[in-house]
Amino acid sequence: MPDLSLQTAMVSYGHTKPLIDGTVNSDRVNLVHVPVSPIPTAFRRMVRGLEYDVSEMAMSTYLCALTHHKPITAFPAFVLRRFEHDEISYNTKSGIESPADLKGRRVGLRSYTFTPGVWARGILSDAYGVDSSQVTWVLYGDEHVAEYRAPNNVIPALQGSDMVADLLSGKIDAAIRPGDVNSPDIKPLIPNAHEVAQDYFLQTGIYPISHAMVVKNELLESHPWLADELYNLFKAGKEQYLQHLNTANNLDPADQAMSRMKQIIGADPIPYGLESNRKSLQAFMNFNVQQGIIPEPFKWEDIFLPI
């Protein structure tokens, strides 16, 4: 029997499924999968109540949690990442014609520290010159880290409001991830977003990171070997998945999408570790400081386990 059993919350991606179904395992640690859907529920439970031993965690939630001294530490298994240029939709009746027209507008989103929102605002600033402080951000939910206080240009929606309904009615001009909206009036702010995102990656080397994995500090302190064991497990799961992509027939839609990303990113479309992700991590840190998610930058080496 393994030395340690850990309650673990994460999505069953192609590269984490081998850890969940046990085809990749360890003599020292047993990951006991706790199904959580949607996965952001786990982020909230982890930063508010340390409900799991190991948990998938959105990157901006992690940075915010560290600012408020939550006793968790990440290891650099970046289990979810995606291009983020397609996050914003707008109402064509608003008079918006380009991303630059968001200045002075009202944009809805679930929470201000929402990682896709941080990336979207950062890309708007970096590629289109849209200063986040010149937009009014309208919140339709709360933050995972309860202690967080957003900048003054972040306001709550009226109680009982619905983001899609407000976008359709013009109460907000645009929204980050409003969900499916069946209306010809609602369109992506950035046309041909995937192609534009691919060009952005080729120009900058930035491939947005969404989620990493975190562990309770008390476990790391009582089991000094745990960090390496966990990271090696996640690497082994990913390597098995990449082998599957290279050799299997009849890939499912998620696998096909990952294979297409290989053509853009390279042989490993899910790079782990700090060194191979420096540009993306630095851009994300800068965006979090600029947007008031955290007051000052961390050094990545200080907030990720030394692997």
Concatenate the DSSP letters of all residues of 65-90 into one string: HHHTT-SEEEEEEEEEE---TT-EEE
CA distances from 79 to 127, 207, 263, 303 (A): 26, 13, 19, 17
Q: What is the CATH number of domain 88-204?
A: 3.40.190.10
Concatenate the DSSP letters of all residues of 282-296 into one string: HHHHHHHHHTTSSSS
* Residuewise pLDDT in 10s, the chain (307 residues): 787 999 999 999 999 999 999 999 999 999 999 999 999 999 999 999 999 999 999 999 999 999 999 999 999 999 999 999 999 999 999 999 999 999 999 999 999 999 999 999 999 999 999 999 999 999 999 999 999 999 999 999 999 999 999 999 999 999 999 988 999 999 999 999 999 999 999 999 999 999 999 999 999 999 999 999 999 999 999 999 999 999 988 899 999 999 999 999 999 999 999 999 999 999 999 999 999 999 999 999 999 998 8
Distance in Å from the first CA to the final CA of the chain: 25
CA distances from 31 to 52, 235, 258 (A): 11, 15, 25
Q: Which CATH class is domain 4-82+208-303?
A: alpha beta
Give the span between the Cα atoms of 245 and 8, in whole angstroms. 25
Nearest to 82 by CA among 182, 160, 4, 198: 198
What is residue 50's DSSP assignment? -
What is residue 304's DSSP assignment? B
The model's pTM: 0.96
Nearest to 28 by CA among 195, 269, 232: 232
CA distances from 53 to 24, 71, 161, 175 (A): 19, 11, 36, 34
What is the amino acid identity at position 159? Answer: Q
Phi-psi category of residue 69: left, alpha or beta, with phi > 0 → left and psi -120 to 50 → alpha: left
Domain boundaries, the chain: 4-82+208-303, 88-204
